[in-house]
Structure 1
Amino acid sequence: MKSIHSLRMRASMLAVGAALVSIGAHAQDTYPARAITLMVSAAPGGTTDLAARMISDPLSKALGKPVVVENRPGGAGAIAASAVKRAKPDGYTLLVQYSGFHVITPHVVKAGFDPIKDFTPVANLIVAPQVFVVRPDLPIKTLPELVSYAKAHPGKLNYASSGNGSLQHVTGEMLNRMSGTNIAHVPYKGTGPAITDLLGGNVEMTFTTAPPLLAHIRSGKLRAIAVTGNVALPSLPNVPTTATIKGYEKLDVSSWFAVYAPANTPKPIVDKLTGEIKKIMATDAFKRKAQEQGAYAVYMTPQELAAHTSKEYQTWGKFVKDAKITGE
């Protein structure tokens, strides 16, 4: 016969479980009761900011409360991520994060957050391949021509990035390792300054997502020579993908942009958020906007995003270690 103590313990545990279920159901029923903040880890105008603004208005309409975008750039994504990490896990402060900041930067510098333990995945929004661009005054129109030029003119080419450990940085190192070139890395404090110096003639090339490049490509100020991956961009239909270029098929580097909540955010709240985001992403308006900016709408459930984040974190961690990439 069970002791009175064990029976009381069982009854207490059942009561706690019932209370948690009740709290979760109540949270789902009443959430949201006020404005929600989407904390963006980059400055306005970039792809991370674009991703946040693509969902802010429709999500506000769906939930019946304001959804406000707040840009917190700096620290290679650490300022925004740390703010959301410390926020109350109640669904009112969310992080819209760029993959390079989330799964690469923590391997290179002391970012102050753990991308796996400190956040609850909500949904992935868009995926954007990298576009290789060079100054139009260079005699380079294809990726093989870039490699040939780099080998024929050692020390003459530099590539700009948004910082040490950024996706542009690791893309450049992937290209060097794959092709046997030694194109020098010039880090900047963000994609904006990098592109400004590229346009000013201080560096020869860069690779980043399409949104900040499209206007310059269309005006002829920059020349696009390749898009990473195996899917052509509708916004750059005449630019070949690396999958179609012999010897560079594995140069598949894409950025992804996702929504995270603080760790321990109640599941009913996460389910409500991801459900509404999924509906928004299924609309033609969202898909069209993503394609116009050189990206693709790619929804992931919280479980899929958790698995994807973990896999990418491990993959890039190994690459950073093998390539000896540092924050110096």
Structure 2
Amino acid sequence: MKFPTSCAALLLSLGLAASAQADTWPSRPITMVVPTAPGGSTDFSARLIGDALAKSLGQAVVVDNKPGASGNVGTEAVARAKPDGYTLLMQYSGYHVGNPALFAQIRWNPVKDFVPVALVMRAPHVLAVGPSAHASSLKELIEVGKKNGKGLFYASSGNGSIQHIAGELFGQLTKVPMTHVPYKGSGPAVNDLMGGQVDLFVTTPPGVIQQVAAGRLKALAYTGKQRHPSMPNVPTSAEAGLPGYEVESWFAIFAPAGTPMPLVNRLSAAIKTIVEGEDFRRKMDEQGAFATYMDSPTLGRFVDKELAAWAQVIKAANIKAD
């Protein structure tokens, strides 16, 4: 298509303006919004990336915690922010691809309101059982759940949490009757798992690794594509006999829709260097997670797939947010 001369000139001027903006950016501190309270994996990731990014870009990166409404408060704030490269979102997957299916109405769209910048971390979970499960392998657990007449009771850290979704997905794949027992946080859930009040809990490794090492709990499967150095003797779900059971949290950086791509690409390149560095990888290993980089286009395609996958599980189980 041949554009009129005036249109071509306008497009050229816009491109030059974006390029000039990228050359002078950043000229002031950048705010990285975290839609959770201080502490936890989202906040940890933001501060780790923020500190390294500040050194790389030569400007401070200020972490701004905006918790509330299961992540919707902070996420919406970034969706409505000026798209100038000075406001970013460190996002947790449970919010970005879970909330759209969990909530009847949210005032932000995971695709239309954001431009993906970079994935920084993937954190598969571990399926742990207590004494009431009477199982030493995943296959035994499935057999027990099918034969005992009552199925399995599984814990979560709250209704609509990723642990809740993980338990329902386990039931869908294995055809084992599952009963959800929600708790107010992972700590009480782990205590009742050790006490035998519930049969299993699917959660991140740091929450159960000490109890597994002490023999108070058994880790039957790691829900990622590969084993993790923090639990080298725990098989993946596929190795344990349940291929396709992959449950992970991921953490990624997004910017408001309309942020100039030269800025996004510069940010993404700087983050790539950080995520692929030895220091970041080591700190992720200590958390039972994997340092994993995706650029903007790859992250966008990944988000599309995740939205469809989690919506299917949530709707099939009729999971609703509190």
Q: TM-score, normalising length from structure 1?
A: 0.87
* SS in structure 2 at match of 1:165: coil
Tell me the equivalent position of 1:235. 230
* SS in structure 2 at match of 1:13: helix
- AA aligned opposite 1:225: L
2:132 is equivalent to residue 133 of structure 1:
no
- AA aligned opposite 1:244: E
Name the CA distance, whole Å, in 2 between partners of 1:44 and 1:211: 17
Q: Which moved more, 1:120-129 or 1:45-54?
A: 45-54
Structure 1, unpaired ranges of 5+: 1-8
Shift of 1:294: 1.2
* SS in structure 2 at match of 1:111: coil
Say what the alpha-carbon RMSD is for the aligned residues. Answer: 2.5
Tell me the equivalent position of 1:313. 307
* SS in structure 2 at match of 1:76: coil
Name the CA distance, whole Å, in 2 between partners of 1:197 and 1:295: 25
Cα displacement string for residues 255-310 of structure 1 (whole angstroms, at most 9, x for unaligned residues):
22111011111111111110100111121111121122111122111001111111
Contact 1:281 1:299 in 2 (8 A): yes
Name the CA distance, whole Å, in 2 between partners of 1:35 and 1:249: 45
Query: How many aligned residue pairs are there?
Result: 319
Tell me the equivalent position of 1:22. 16
Instruction: State percent identity of aligned pairs.
Output: 45
Name the CA distance, whole Å, in 1 between partners of 2:258 and 2:150: 50
Name the CA distance, whole Å, in 2 between partners of 1:162 and 1:74: 16
Q: Which moved more, 1:268-277 or 1:66-75?
A: 66-75
1:1-328 to 2 correspondence within 5 Å? Answer: 10-109=4-103, 110-135=105-130, 139-155=134-150, 157-188=152-183, 190-191=185-186, 194-195=189-190, 198=193, 203-246=198-241, 248-327=242-321
Contact 1:159 1:204 in 2 (8 A): yes
Contact 1:232 1:241 in 2 (8 A): yes
Shift of 1:188: 4.2
Cα displacement string for residues 165-211 of structure 1 (whole angstroms, at most 9, x for unaligned residues):
33222211121122222221123455466446656765443212223
Q: Which moved more, 1:40-49 or 1:274-283?
A: 40-49
Shift of 1:86: 1.2
Name the CA distance, whole Å, in 1 between partners of 2:31 and 2:214: 36
Shift of 1:102: 1.0
Name the CA distance, whole Å, in 1 between partners of 2:95 and 2:256: 16
Q: TM-score, normalising length from structure 2?
A: 0.89
Relative to structure 1, the CA distance from residue 314 to residue 170 in structure 2 (aligned partners, 3 Å threshold; closer, same or farther) is same
* SS in structure 1 at match of 2:118: strand
Cα displacement string for residues 204-260 of structure 1 (whole angstroms, at most 9, x for unaligned residues):
4321222343344445554322111330010001111111122x1121222221110
Relative to structure 1, the CA distance from residue 185 to residue 155 in structure 2 (aligned partners, 3 Å threshold; closer, same or farther) is same
Contact 2:118 2:296 in 1 (8 A): yes
Q: Which moved more, 1:201-210 or 1:55-64?
A: 201-210
Relative to structure 1, the CA distance from residue 111 to residue 135 in structure 2 (aligned partners, 3 Å threshold; closer, same or farther) is farther
Relative to structure 1, the CA distance from residue 269 to residue 189 in structure 2 (aligned partners, 3 Å threshold; closer, same or farther) is farther
- AA aligned opposite 2:20: H
* SS in structure 1 at match of 2:71: helix
Name the CA distance, whole Å, in 1 between partners of 2:106 and 2:136: 38
Contact 1:227 1:242 in 2 (8 A): yes
Tell me the equivalent position of 1:4. none
Contact 2:78 2:255 in 1 (8 A): yes
Contact 1:60 1:67 in 2 (8 A): yes
Shift of 1:38: 1.7
* SS in structure 1 at match of 2:206: coil
Name the CA distance, whole Å, in 1 between partners of 2:161 and 2:316: 16
Cα displacement string for residues 132-178 of structure 1 (whole angstroms, at most 9, x for unaligned residues):
12335753332223223334544484322233333222211121122
Relative to structure 1, the CA distance from residue 122 to residue 174 in structure 2 (aligned partners, 3 Å threshold; closer, same or farther) is same
Cα displacement string for residues 65-116 of structure 1 (whole angstroms, at most 9, x for unaligned residues):
1112223233222122111111111112211112121112211213332111
Name the CA distance, whole Å, in 2 between partners of 1:190 and 1:83: 25
